[in-house]
């Protein structure tokens, strides 16, 4: 059985590749330009543009399972191509935003919800992963950390930051055993942790002090846009952070339930990514 991993250049996609390889699976990695992919030994590479259905046949040939990360404007073509190729199970990386009470009004939720609907309505088995805040978002602090500072709005917002390897381990387990068909799985780290606490952990792991500087919402949006965030996204993210100052993000034990292992702490993530802040 061959498993296709889309978005293989990203942190989660790469971790899914590694988890599947470690489990002895036959894995194929896709990106718009496969020549840019750096993959583990034994992983085949294929170029595929998820927004251009004409590029998908080769990527999906002989594939039984797919780890999918796509935008709603490309998902219908992906679904049709996967059905035609005889794919049996698709695991979709979505967002916890679609599970929130305010989901109907949120731009982020709307985008992810459209992809969820297309995948869950298909003829193949499907599982939706709904992780909350990614610990890898902290990598946006690298330039600031080099100056000895962490700059963020709402430093006391408490989020259930999740290690990308926990998301990957859940995805790999489901793709291997075909479990959790028709389910949406809310994934989080083991505890709510504030940005202030993340900065303290990072300072300890790096062995150097980090001063925290609180940004206004307007300053934070400006920085997010400069980093390439889509214009409609920053305000929704900041609204979510503001809510968790008084009401921490809920955490789940789904990672343990699926994989049998406790979710990794933010400290483990920081130690794994120490070199990224060097």
Each residue's pLDDT tens digit, 171-202: 999 999 999 999 999 999 999 999 999 999 99
Can you say whether the dihedral through the CA atoms of 111, 115, 117, 120 is positive or negative? negative
> Taking residues 89-115, what's their average pLDDT?
79
169-to-16, 46, 217, 249, 253 alpha-carbon distances in Å: 7, 23, 34, 22, 14
CB 220 within 8 A of CB 234: yes
Average pLDDT, the chain: 93
Tokens of 276: 């990224």
Examine the pLDDT at 42 and tell me if it is beyond 90: no
If one compares 112 and 161, the residue with the highest pLDDT of the two is 161
> Taking residues 29-56, what's their average pLDDT?
92
Examine the pLDDT at 98 and tell me if it is beyond 90: no
- Give the pLDDT of residue 135: 97
If one compares 81 and 107, the residue with the highest pLDDT of the two is 81
Examine the pLDDT at 55 and tell me if it is beyond 50: yes
| DSSP 8-class letter at 51 | T
Can you say whether the dihedral through the CA atoms of 176, 180, 184, 186 is positive or negative? negative
> Taking residues 61-72, what's their average pLDDT?
90
- Stated as kind and residue range, the H or E segment containing 107 is helix 107-120
- Give the pLDDT of residue 113: 84
- Give the pLDDT of residue 103: 44
Residues of the chain with pLDDT > 70, as a percent, come to 97
pLDDT in tens, 215-262: 999 999 999 999 888 888 888 889 889 999 999 999 999 999 999 999
- Give the pLDDT of residue 108: 72
20-to-12, 40, 51, 94, 193 alpha-carbon distances in Å: 12, 10, 25, 20, 29
Side-chain half-sphere CA neighbours of 245 within 13 A? 9
- Separation CA 169–CA 260 (nearest Å): 10
Whose CA is closest to 266, among 166, 173, 172, 128? Answer: 166
- Give the pLDDT of residue 278: 86
Buried-state track 98-114, b at ≥16 Cβ within 10 A, e below 16: bbbeebeebebbbbbbb
- Give the pLDDT of residue 245: 96
3-state helix, strand, coil in the chain (%, to 5): 50, 20, 35
pLDDT in tens, 3-37: 999 999 999 999 999 999 999 999 999 999 999 99
Examine the pLDDT at 105 and tell me if it is beyond 70: no
Q: Where are the domains of the chain?
A: 2-132+163-188+250-262
If one compares 272 and 230, the residue with the highest pLDDT of the two is 272
Buried-state track 126-156, b at ≥16 Cβ within 10 A, e below 16: bbbbbbbbbbbebeebeebbeeeebbbbbbe
Lowest mean pLDDT among 15-29, 46-60, 140-154, 175-189: 46-60
What's the CATH fold of domain 2-132+163-188+250-262? Rossmann fold (3.40.50)
- Give the pLDDT of residue 117: 93
Q: How confident is the model at residue 127 (pLDDT cuts 50, 70, 90)?
A: very high
CB 40 within 8 A of CB 55: no
Examine the pLDDT at 102 and tell me if it is beyond 80: no
């Amino acid at each position: 059985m061959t498993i296709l991993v889309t978005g293989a250049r990203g942190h989660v996609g790469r971790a899914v590749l590694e988890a599947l390889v470690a489990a002895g699976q036959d894995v194929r990695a896709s990106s718009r330009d496969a020549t840019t992919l750096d993959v583990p030994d034994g992983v085949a590479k294929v170029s595929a543009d998820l927004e251009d259905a004409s590029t998908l046949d080769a990527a999906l040939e002989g594939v039984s399972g797919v780890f999918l990360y796509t935008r709603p404007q490309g998902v219908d073509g992906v679904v049709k191509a996967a059905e035609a190729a005889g794919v049996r199970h698709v695991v979709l990386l979505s967002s916890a935003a679609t599970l929130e009470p305010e989901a109907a009004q949120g731009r982020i939720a709307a985008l992810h919800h459209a992809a969820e609907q297309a995948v869950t309505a298909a003829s193949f088995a499907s599982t939706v992963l709904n992780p909350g805040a990614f610990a890898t978002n902290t990598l946006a602090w690298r330039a600031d950390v080099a100056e000895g500072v962490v700059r963020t709005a709402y430093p006391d917002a408490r989020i259930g930051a999740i290690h990308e390897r926990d998301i990957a381990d859940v995805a790999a387990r489901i793709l291997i055993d075909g479990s959790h068909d028709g389910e949406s799985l809310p994934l989080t780290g083991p505890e709510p942790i504030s940005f202030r606490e993340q900065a303290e952990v990072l300072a300890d792991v790096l062995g150097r002090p980090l001063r925290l500087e609180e940004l206004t919402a307007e300053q934070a949006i400006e920085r997010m846009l400069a980093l390439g965030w889509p214009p409609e996204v920053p305000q929704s993210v900041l609204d979510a952070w503001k809510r968790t100052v008084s009401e921490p993000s809920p955490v789940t034990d789904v990672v343990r339930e699926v994989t049998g292992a406790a979710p990794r702490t933010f400290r483990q993530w920081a130690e794994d990514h120490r070199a990224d802040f060097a």
